[in-house]
Amino acid sequence: MRSKKAPKKLLSPDPLYGSRLVSRMINKIMMDGKKSIAQDLVYGALKVIKEQTKQEPVTILEKAIQNVSPKMEVRPRRVGGASYQVPVEVRGDRKEALAIRWILAAAKSRSNKQFHTFNEKLAKELMEAANSAGAAIKKKEDVQRQAAANRAFSHFRW
């Protein structure tokens, strides 16, 4: 077991927009250490957003993350022989991480018929999430609904 808590590493902001959130998005998309490809995808999506909405793309990204971030989630807790789904509040860093993960998953699952590139899929999902619509928002609502349904087990919190 670890003797003390590992220090949290601060993520440097991305070079183009100077945003820590854009850096997290790039790092989440990155596969096999190919950061330049991930940067091209995210910057391409932000460029599409700027062209379509005529607004600052980073503010739309921030609004999308804020709209998709869950307030409550369920965590399994074993009590006796049974396992209960206990609703717990989601802390700050995890909120952001879940929101990014859900937005990317929703963008990946979009059909290829209307959108040809991942840039377009990601841009569309971000714009919908900023307007409180889309698959990522649906995922958030499902998680919130599950937490509300299991409120009876909230006394099992640790």
User: Rounded mean pLDDT of 87-108?
Assistant: 92
Q: Scan for tokens 């900023």, then name that residue.
A: 130
What pLDDT band is residue 85 in, cutting at 50, 70 and 90?
Answer: confident
- 89 Cβ neighbours under 8 A, 6+ residues apart: 71, 72
Say how far residue 141 (Cα) sits from the centre of its chain: 13
Torsion of CA 95, 100, 102, 104, to 10 degrees: 180
Tell me the domains of the chain and their CATH numbers.
20-156 (1.10.455.10)
Angle between helices 57-68 and 35-53 (to 10 degrees): 100
The closest alpha carbon to 46, from 59, 63, 30, 29, belongs to 59
What pLDDT band is residue 139 in, cutting at 50, 70 and 90?
Answer: very high
Distance CA 149, CA 103 (A): 24
pLDDT surpasses 70 at 32: yes
pLDDT surpasses 70 at 158: no
Q: How far is CA 4 from CA 1, 7, 94, 134, 139, in A?
A: 9, 9, 21, 41, 35
What pLDDT band is residue 108 in, cutting at 50, 70 and 90?
Answer: very high
User: Rounded mean pLDDT of 46-50?
Assistant: 95
Distance CA 143, CA 133 (A): 15
pLDDT surpasses 90 at 28: yes
Q: Is 86 helix (H, G, I), strand (E, B) or coil?
A: strand
More confident residue, 92 or 21: 21
